[in-house]
Structure formats: structure tokens, C-alpha cells
Amino acid sequence: MLPAEYLIRLMQPDDYATIRDICQIVYPFDAPYNAAELAEHQAVFPQGQFVAEHIPTRTPVGVHFTLRLRMRDYSIDDSWDLLTAQGTFADHVPDGPSLYGADVFIHPSHQRHGLAHALTDAARGLVIEEQLWRMVGASRLPGYGAVAATVPADEYVRGVVAGTRHDPVLSAHLKDGWSVVRPIHGYLQHDVESANWAAVIQWINPACPPPPGMALG
């Protein structure tokens, strides 16, 4: 349950500067989103840009950015940069049957309060509301870098799925109801902790069958 001092809402222009600052903290080796990119996200798909607000300070402390895509237009191995048009979301398809979870991040001071789960639930609600058949994303594997020299990525992911290994991010996604499609290399370009590996994940909307030819994996 979301703690009483937080709420989930849609992103507003007044949030841009704070979101940029949080992004810089969470991803210190990458350029943070700028105001123009965040304005583009809001312009192309406003209902898909979610914010977790800390009510006492009226400040954004986490986000979940999404867009709609036709995944058959892409390869399963495609990178985040390609799937998001370099983070601009210019490739958003208004009638795309898949909601793509482009990014979720929480300010470190507000982690471990269930905010990522609440933001994901908001995105799932959008999938149901817009009668989409699934949500697709990719999970970092920050536990993998330490064993990458001796353990193949697919073996690592199988272990996390089976519960014999723990990954700080993928294990949380599995607990949150996502399923793994398969691991891919190069999804993110500077993810040393994950040895540049990630796992493609999806959540299927049980109320909406897949369109013909839309299977992934």
C-alpha cells in the first residue's frame, strides 16, 4: 500500500527541473533528461507520464515514463536509445498495442516505500484503461556484473527466475508480476553493474488477447 505521505499523479511542467535533478542522482554517468525532452514526453503521451509526489513537500520524488509502440517494428535485441528515439519518445505510436515502460526511477531518499510498485500499478491501470494487451520493458541486472566472467547471462537470469539467485532489480520486477522473455546485450550502453546486459520483461493484460502476429520472444 502506498504510504499516506505520497500520491501518484501525472507529470506537469513544474516538475521538469526536479525530475532532471533526480535523474542526475540516479544515473550519474548519463546525461539527465532535459526540459525539452520531458515536454516532448508530455506532448506526445501525457497520460503515460507518471510522477510519485511527496505530499508534505509537494515535490516529485519518482517517475515512470511510458509510450505506446508496435513491437513488431523492432527487434527484441534493440536498445533503449532505439526504442525511445534517443529518449525523446518521438517514436510513440498512438494506436500501438504495447505500452513500453521506458524508465522508472526513485530519489534514493524515498526508495523502499513501495513507490516503484505504485508507479507500475498506475501504468498497468493505463494498459487496462486503453485496452492494450501488454506492457513491455527491460530490467537491468545489477547483480550480474560481479559474476559475468564465469556465468553466462541466460544462466544468471534463469537462476533469478527460479529463485536460486537474487538480483536487486530483476527479482523485484518478478515479485511485482512481470515475466521474463529473455536476456539481451547492449540495451543500455554504460551499465557496468549489469555488464551491459538486461532482461526483456512483460506483463500481459488478461482482459485483452494479443493481436495477430504480436507475440514477443
| Per-residue model confidence (pLDDT) at position 79 | 94
Q: Which three cell numbers stand for residue 85?
A: 528515439
Grid cell 540495451 — which residue? 187
* Tens-place pLDDT, residues 110-162: 999 999 999 999 999 999 999 999 999 999 999 999 999 999 999 999 999 99
Of the given ranges (3-12, 69-78, 158-167), which has the lowest mean pLDDT? 69-78
Q: What is the C-alpha to C-alpha distance for residues 217 and 15, in angstroms, rounded to an integer?
A: 36
- Indicate the pLDDT class of residue 212, thresholds 50, 70 and 90: low
Give yes or no for a contact between 193 and 145, defined as CB atoms under 8 angstroms apart. yes
| Per-residue model confidence (pLDDT) at position 190 | 83
Q: What is the C-alpha to C-alpha distance for residues 11 and 51, in angstroms, rounded to an integer?
A: 6
Q: What is the C-alpha to C-alpha distance for residues 206 and 208, in angstroms, rounded to an integer?
A: 6
Grid cell 516538475 — which residue? 15
Grid cell 550519474 — which residue? 28
Side-chain-side CA neighbours of residue 46 (13 Å) = 4
Q: Which residues contact 8 (CB under 8 A, 6 or more apart)?
A: 2, 50, 51, 52, 53, 118, 119, 122
| Per-residue model confidence (pLDDT) at position 214 | 58
Domain 6-204: which CATH class? alpha beta
| Per-residue model confidence (pLDDT) at position 178 | 94
Determine the angle formed by the axes of helices 35-44 and 16-26, rounding to 10 degrees. Answer: 110
Give yes or no for a contact between 63 and 105, defined as CB atoms under 8 angstroms apart. yes
- Determine how many CB atoms are found less than 10 A away from the CB of residue 106: 20
Give domain limits for the chain. Answer: 6-204
Give yes or no for a contact between 152 and 141, defined as CB atoms under 8 angstroms apart. no
- Indicate the pLDDT class of residue 1, thresholds 50, 70 and 90: confident
| Per-residue model confidence (pLDDT) at position 217 | 43
- Determine how many CB atoms are found less than 10 A away from the CB of residue 118: 19
Q: Which three cell numbers stand for residue 173?
A: 520486477
Q: Which residues contact 174 (CB under 8 A, 6 or more apart)?
A: 160, 161, 180
* Tens-place pLDDT, residues 25-70: 998 888 899 999 999 999 999 999 999 999 999 999 999 999 999 9
